[in-house]
Chain A
């Protein structure tokens, strides 16, 4: 009855990685002084499930290490051991070792037995150094349990048929139970089907266990915590014992008793980490499948728009039912589109969660004291965008710690909190996601940047604004760091950040005040796949201007057009002069004479600059599905992509940022 384990192995790896992430974030919170029982439980559960899984698949190195972890964590959560910095350090290092062990088990490299041995040694050392508090705690623990434990438990354990699929083995639970005390186990095989119907992968048996011995209810419950959602479980005190004790026992998830001394730094996150035993139901789907779905829905939207356009010509009285149906279709397609786009959306926490560890390590390396704050980690962002902002954010956070924050002494001298704060925040603003990385460090040194710019021959206008000066640091190869460290200072970084963000259709802004701190703001489009567009006609052609770039549009009054050296045109907009580009000239569209019709200027803002686009007509507004031109063709200057209009024709999308940059480069 050999069950093919290979398909479970992949799940084990994925779950273990998630478990390690949960452990890491939990340990970091312990490190920051949080003392929540549920927190330690979370870490413990992660270690425990890894141990179980690794045991089933025969990864002995992982089992061995997680076993040590479990012992240590168990002492911590039962209060037998103080949570000390060196223990947390050892636990964090073992998370790293576990990661490499997992990678090795997955076949990417040999097992690093040296580091395994050293971490095991370290953990054993921590374990051996019995905490002085242990004895006192133990005494306190017995006082806590005011009600005497009953003399035993009657347990009815009926696993659901799919229990084996979750990687659990009832046999292991039963043998664990036996270790707690004397057990009488009765097997209930009423659900057992006929022999020819038996499926070895479904669980049909149930057990009644009478456990004799003074065992706490929570200990028994812990054994079942892995199968909680996958079985029917009834635990009752044995009749012989004092029955009154049973209700006094805590519910399955014990509430934190010491909640008063918990430092609430990110307490809303506690609920975001669901206990492993009751995971939010989810499935893993290949991204390509989701993308295919999005494409299909995009097609549907186009077809629907086409039907709508065609139906406009129909007589509303004669075709009432058809038109009603089409309206219904309109609504449904929109809802469907929104829902499907939602699949790709992920909370930005996906990237934020990797920073606490990085910040801690980096701060330790640089001898700085850093606190990390995250705001709005639930903000959702397209998965494609999330993946691409991860590296730029790493750069920014490293920069902030290395350059931004001062050494603790300097901070105290400046009258600031010794611990610097790095804040990562994400929020929605209009059609954009805004991500900010800010620190309360020394701020950018305007004079030094200006001097360095002059040294490198970068011309700055005389009365340059702060923003203009700061933007210099985003030029390739620019660094003001006096010495190059392995953290930063090589002058690669900010330009890469800028490039990556720009390629996503976003922008980077730098704000800084000396002595107060630096704030870097990244503005990103919500999604890469759909945008709100303004359809404009140029000659016989239709173009799409992304609506989030459009500031306003106005009739072009010939008196407001001024020329510079005969060919460059400027448009006066309420006292300001903005460059005026003729779309027809720019894109070589054939002009069609229009009678009694003044052209229209669409004022757009891209890359921090305003410009006016001269078009013939505003056609309307619509959501368009962005299609790549570069898949089958190449990049065109001034065009960011293409889309398909309601009538099935292709329309090009104007790259406002690119046009604005083009103007500057040409100047």
Chain B
């Protein structure tokens, strides 16, 4: 049920014969390579000390001061349960603009910006239950590399992320 819905969305996205290429910022989490829509990315920063937030899930590291704005920091490695999580010189924060919010995600390293044509986009395969395919728009194939393309907007605004208030009652 869920997969078919995903497939439907991918297929609507696939056919553009105009073949407009899309650009993705690619980054690594452990051994995996991911990509997010470059248009969502505001900036890239080194890992900074964060202020821990009470009553937050483990993967929400806390908040940082981004030139006067309070920005929450999410460690994607913890969110995706990638096991080994260390913070060193190459640990990077990607600041994203998502749903009129500014959030920041921690990744192991940032690789490059890659343009993907329609031909290189593949629908998201069915995984086991380990990872929620709702947040994957597809797979990008570049020669030997495989990019997992994240629907970062959907991921960050989803209820189980705990980033946004559950009920919108309190405006």
Could you list which residues of chain A lie within 8 angstroms of chain B, going by C-beta atoms?
295, 298-299, 302, 541, 586-589, 627-639, 642, 644, 648-652
Partner of A541, one of B51, B67, B69: B51
B65 touches A644 (CB 8 A): yes
Kindly report which residue of chain A lies nearest to residue B62, judged by CB atoms: A650
Knowing A635-B165, A636-B55, A652-B51 are in contact, say whether A298-B68 is a contact too (CB < 8 A).
yes
How many residues of B are counted as interface, with CB atoms below 8 angstroms from the partner's CB atoms?
A: 26
Bound form: Cα–Cα A328–B50 in Å = 32
The 5 closest A-B pairs by CB, nearest first: A587-B54, A650-B51, A634-B165, A633-B72, A632-B101
Q: A627-B70, A631-B101, A636-B56 are in contact. List 20 more A-B contacts (CB 8 A).
A: A295-B68, A299-B67, A302-B68, A541-B51, A587-B55, A588-B52, A628-B70, A631-B69, A632-B70, A632-B71, A633-B53, A633-B72, A633-B163, A634-B165, A638-B55, A642-B63, A642-B70, A649-B65, A650-B62, A650-B63
Most buried by B among A630, A633, A637, A639: A633
A648 touches B65 (CB 8 A): yes
A633 touches B70 (CB 8 A): yes
Bound form: Cα–Cα A176–B72 in Å = 67
Q: Give the shortest distance, in Å, between A588 (CB) and chain B (any CB).
A: 5
Knowing A650-B63, A650-B70 are in contact, say whether A630-B165 is a contact too (CB < 8 A).
yes
Q: Residue B162 at the A interface, CB < 8 A? A: yes
Kindly report which residue of chain B lies nearest to residue A629, judged by CB atoms: B70
| B contact residues around A651 at 8 Å (CB) | 51
Task: Name B82-112 residues within 8 Å CB distance of A.
Answer: 101-103
| A contact residues around B51 at 8 Å (CB) | 541, 642, 649-652
| A contact residues around B49 at 8 Å (CB) | 649
A627 touches B69 (CB 8 A): yes
Partner of B69, one of A632, A638, A652: A632
Kindly report which residue of chain A lies nearest to residue B50, judged by CB atoms: A650
Q: Residue B1 at the A interface, CB < 8 A? A: no
| A contact residues around B170 at 8 Å (CB) | 635
Q: Residue B124 at the A interface, CB < 8 A? A: no
Knowing A628-B70, A633-B70, A642-B70 are in contact, say whether A650-B64 is a contact too (CB < 8 A).
yes
Bound form: Cα–Cα A627–B70 in Å = 7
Bound form: Cα–Cα A338–B98 in Å = 34
Q: Residue B164 at the A interface, CB < 8 A? A: yes
Q: List 26 A-B contacts (CB under 8 A).
A: A299-B68, A586-B54, A588-B52, A588-B54, A588-B55, A631-B70, A632-B72, A633-B63, A633-B163, A634-B164, A634-B165, A635-B165, A636-B54, A637-B55, A638-B54, A639-B53, A639-B54, A642-B51, A644-B68, A648-B65, A649-B51, A650-B50, A650-B62, A650-B64, A650-B70, A652-B53
Q: Give the shortest distance, in Å, between A590 (CB) and chain B (any CB).
A: 9
